[in-house]
């Protein structure tokens, strides 16, 4: 049944079978006249229900306006006509899906079933937005739905986006199959480029090189774009020596490097810790008037100088970052805070922080995390606590990542009592501990050799983090297993082991801990090899030796489940 978009205000005439439904739209109201209900069965039934119900409701409520609104709402329920939010939109529904296992197609179909129209250019925009926010599966479903409509045709740009989405959702084979199925006219610079990018992201050097040759032969390699992709590939696969060769080829073909080319080239030099090469490239950048460099190039150079311990050169590069960065780019401020912390320059770090607060009166939680991380790096406990209190005074939502920074600081400084008090405070403020919160506490308990509490905290980490594929830190697992082995507590060993197994965090060494605990307690588990086989863990030499020792023990443990 078609849906009517109703809003906060309903009006109808008491003298005739005509009604006006007012819909909130933009800054004002637009009115749509629904006339002659007698010629529309659904609206006629709705109108009659409204009149009948209005009288019933008004007898118990003197507010005439409320009576009318409640009558319309109840009438909608009786005639099974959906009452829709006027601020609703198709993109809002798609963006609310969240879970990739839910179907975007079902949302589209429901929208159409409600009598609403969809426009191709709107859908294309939704695909781009969903892709931008890494909602690849839903973006692909919308793209495929567009292609399935008889009156819709994908443009070359749409086909390239779809190929990219297929590669992300179904892998390279799916992308190759889609590309091969395209008509020759659709195999152009855009779709070739999308396939090249898919190969680059998958680090498939041979396939990328082959498709790059086709791009050149077809005459599509006329800009730096595809060459940049190849440079990126060589950087990712540590074939650093090939990056300057690509730059040379570009120049031979009359193509000038752009800002991205220089950025990749400089990043490659930094990966090789080649300060001399970086300075040569930067000299080219300064003399290349065709390139409008941004702050990120200088940030890469600054990182390199900081790692090399060249403080003066690093500060000079950071000054260039400040000169180049747009005033409205938060990430540039956050980067500077982090890098000045690396240089130990607390004064400049605080100056950037104050500048950030002046530029953005409402700070993101992320910015507070950057500042806290920098203060932690400098060991400034008092400063970190002050920033944390400032955040608590203004935060709209209690983002657990922020107090986790302080909690971790306390534990690293062996201030367990303060860590426990902060944890209680987090709960009082309505914070929800995540797996990191619990593991930080576990580390504190391990330091204090309170292994009972450490195991409980680790189990809470597992409970919260299992669905997120959380993996415990190996050093924490090792410390707990060493303690359990030392005391020969088989029950504790088996319980902790089963938690690790549920997290898919078992290997031969962890089985060896369990076997040594059995030997310490004089017990064995005859099915140990079977358990290892089921977990797809291959016994090592120590495992084989320990299994032989436990085989001679007759006092069997209840064993693993």
| Residue 31 · residue 22 · CB < 8 Å | yes
User: H or E stretch including 5?
Assistant: strand 4-5
DSSP assignment string, 243-293:
HHHHHHHHHHTT----HHHHHHHHHHHHHTT-HHHHHHHHHHHHH-TT---
| Residue 298 · residue 265 · CB < 8 Å | no
CA distances from 491 to 246, 475, 484, 505, 525 (A): 61, 21, 9, 19, 12
Split at pLDDT 50, 70, 90, the class of 290 is: confident
Check residue 113 and give its pLDDT. 85
* The last residue of a domain, from among 88, 106, 135: 88
Check residue 7 and give its pLDDT. 36
Check residue 25 and give its pLDDT. 33
Does residue 42 lie within any of the structural domains? Answer: yes
Provide the 10 A C-beta neighbour count for residue 299.
23
Which of 79-83, 147-151, 223-227, 278-282 bottoms out in mean pLDDT, i.e. has the lowest? 79-83
The DSSP secondary-structure symbol of 555 reads S
User: H or E stretch including 83?
Assistant: strand 83-84
DSSP assignment string, 402-422:
HHHHHHHHHHHTT-HHHHHHH
Residue 198, pLDDT above cutoff 50: yes
Q: Give the C-alpha separation, 72 to 426, whole Å.
A: 46
Check residue 70 and give its pLDDT. 55
Does residue 561 lie within any of the structural domains? Answer: yes
Residue 192, pLDDT above cutoff 70: yes
The string of pLDDT tens digits covering residues 154-186 is 788 889 999 999 999 999 999 999 999 999 889
Structurally, the chain folds into a number of domains equal to: 2
What phi-psi label fits residue 220: left (phi over 0), alpha (psi between -120 and 50 degrees) or beta? alpha
The string of pLDDT tens digits covering residues 425-473 is 999 999 999 999 999 999 999 999 999 999 999 999 999 999 889 999 9
Collapse the DSSP code of 128 into the 3-class scheme (helix H, G, I; strand E, B; otherwise coil) and give the result: helix
Name the token pair of 310. 């060249």
Question: 443: closest CA among 476, 405, 421, 491?
Answer: 476
Does residue 25 lie within any of the structural domains? Answer: yes
| Residue 250 · residue 283 · CB < 8 Å | no
Question: 170: closest CA among 120, 91, 100, 102?
Answer: 100
Average pLDDT over every residue of 97-120 = 84
Question: 68: closest CA among 6, 154, 24, 114?
Answer: 6
Residue 127, pLDDT above cutoff 70: yes
Beta bridge partners of 84: 5
pLDDT-above-70 percentage for the chain: 83
Q: Is the dihedral of CA 342, 346, 349, 353 positive or negative?
A: positive
* The last residue of a domain, from among 71, 88, 105: 88
Whole-model pTM: value is 0.70
Collapse the DSSP code of 193 into the 3-class scheme (helix H, G, I; strand E, B; otherwise coil) and give the result: helix
Does residue 64 lie within any of the structural domains? Answer: yes
User: H or E stretch including 440?
Assistant: helix 435-447
The string of pLDDT tens digits covering residues 238-284 is 999 999 999 999 999 999 999 899 999 999 999 998 999 999 999 99
Using the structure block, give the residue that is written with the tokens 């937005």: 129
Does residue 477 lie within any of the structural domains? Answer: yes
Q: Give the C-alpha separation, 7 to 29, whole Å.
A: 10
Provide the 10 A C-beta neighbour count for residue 487.
13
Half-sphere exposure for 265 (CA within 13 Å, toward CB)? 25
Does residue 349 lie within any of the structural domains? Answer: no
User: Angle, nearest 10°, between helix axes 136-148 and 156-170?
Assistant: 130
| Residue 291 · residue 262 · CB < 8 Å | yes
CA distances from 197 to 163, 172, 175, 202, 219 (A): 10, 11, 11, 9, 18
Question: 343: closest CA among 372, 314, 321, 322?
Answer: 314
Split at pLDDT 50, 70, 90, the class of 29 is: very low
Q: Is the dihedral of CA 384, 388, 390, 395 positive or negative?
A: positive
Does residue 522 lie within any of the structural domains? Answer: yes
Which of 65-79, 112-126, 277-291, 411-425 bottoms out in mean pLDDT, i.e. has the lowest? 65-79
DSSP assignment string, 10-64:
EEE-SSSS-EEEEEEETTEEEEEEE--GGG-HHHHHHHHHHHHHHHHHHTT---H
* The last residue of a domain, from among 45, 60, 88: 88
DSSP assignment string, 358-417:
HH-SS--HHHHHHHHHHHHHHT-HHHHHHHHHHHHHH-SS--THHHHHHHHHHHHTT-HH
CA distances from 121 to 128, 134, 146, 293, 535 (A): 11, 20, 10, 34, 50
Higher per-residue confidence, 456 vs 67:
456
| Residue 209 · residue 176 · CB < 8 Å | no
Instruction: Quote the domain boundaries for residue 58.
Output: 4-88
Name the token pair of 204. 């498939």
Beta bridge partners of 11: 20
The string of pLDDT tens digits covering residues 30-49 is 333 333 333 344 445 545 55
Average pLDDT over every residue of 311-336 = 95
């Amino acid at each position: 049944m078609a849906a009517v978009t109703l809003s906060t205000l309903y009006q109808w005439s008491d003298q005739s079978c005509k009604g006006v439904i007012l819909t909130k739209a933009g800054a004002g109201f637009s009115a749509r006249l629904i006339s002659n209900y007698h010629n529309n069965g659904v609206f006629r039934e709705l109108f009659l229900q409204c009149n009948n119900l209005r009288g019933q409701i008004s007898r118990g409520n003197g507010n005439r306006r409320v009576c009318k609104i409640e009558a319309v709402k109840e009438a909608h329920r009786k005639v099974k006509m959906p009452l829709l939010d006027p601020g609703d939109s198709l993109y809002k529904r798609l963006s609310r899906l969240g879970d990739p296992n839910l179907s975007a197609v079902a949302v589209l179909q429901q929208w159409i079933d409600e009598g609403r129209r969809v426009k191709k250019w709107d859908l294309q925009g939704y695909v781009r937005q969903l892709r931008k926010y890494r909602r690849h599966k839903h973006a692909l479903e919308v793209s495929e739905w567009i292609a399935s409509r008889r009156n819709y045709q994908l443009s070359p740009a749409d086909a390239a986006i779809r190929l990219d989405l297929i590669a992300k959702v179904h892998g390279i084979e799916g992308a190759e199959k889609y590309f091969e199925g395209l008509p020759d006219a659709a195999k152009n610079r855009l779709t070739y480029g999308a396939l090249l990018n898919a190969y680059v992201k998958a680090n498939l050097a041979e396939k990328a090189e082959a498709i790059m040759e086709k791009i050149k032969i077809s005459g599509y390699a006329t800009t730096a774009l595809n060459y940049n992709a190849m440079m990126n590939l060589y950087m990712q696969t540590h074939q650093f020596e090939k990056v300057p060769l690509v730059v040379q080829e570009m120049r031979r073909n009359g193509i000038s490097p752009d800002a991205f080319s220089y950025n990749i080239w400089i990043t490659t030099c930094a990966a090789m810790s080649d300060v001399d090469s970086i300075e040569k490239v930067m000299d080219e950048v300064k003399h290349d008037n065709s390139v409008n460099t941004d702050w990120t190039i200088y940030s890469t150079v600054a990182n390199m100088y900081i790692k090399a311990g060249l403080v003066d050169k690093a500060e000079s590069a950071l000054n260039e970052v400040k000169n180049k960065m747009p005033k409205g780019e938060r990430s540039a401020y956050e980067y500077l805070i982090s890098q000045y912390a690396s240089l130990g320059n607390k004064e400049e770090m605080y100056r950037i922080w104050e500048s950030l607060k002046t530029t953005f009166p409402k700070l993101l939680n992320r910015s507070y995390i950057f500042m806290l991380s920098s203060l932690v790096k400098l060991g400034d406990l008092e400063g970190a606590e002050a920033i944390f209190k400032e955040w608590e005074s203004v935060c709209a939502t209690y983002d657990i990542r922020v107090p986790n920074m302080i909690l971790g600081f306390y534990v690293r400084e062996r201030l367990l009592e303060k860590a426990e008090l902060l944890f209680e405070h987090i709960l009082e403020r309505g914070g929800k501990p995540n797996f990191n919160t619990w593991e930080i506490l576990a580390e504190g308990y391990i330091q204090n050799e309170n292994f009972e509490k450490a195991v409980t905290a680790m189990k809470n980490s597992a409970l919260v983090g299992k669905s997120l594929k959380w993996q415990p830190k190996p050093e924490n697992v090792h410390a707990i297993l060493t303690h359990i082995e030392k005391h020969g507590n088989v029950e504790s060993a088996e319980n902790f082991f089963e938690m690790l197994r549920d997290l898919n965090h078992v290997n031969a060494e962890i089985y060896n801990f369990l076997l040594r605990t059995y030997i310490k307690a004089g017990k064995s588990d005859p099915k140990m090899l079977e358990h290892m086989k089921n977990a797809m863990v291959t016994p090592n030499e120590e495992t084989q030796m320990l299994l032989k020792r436990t085989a001679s023990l007759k006092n069997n443990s209840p064993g693993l489940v």
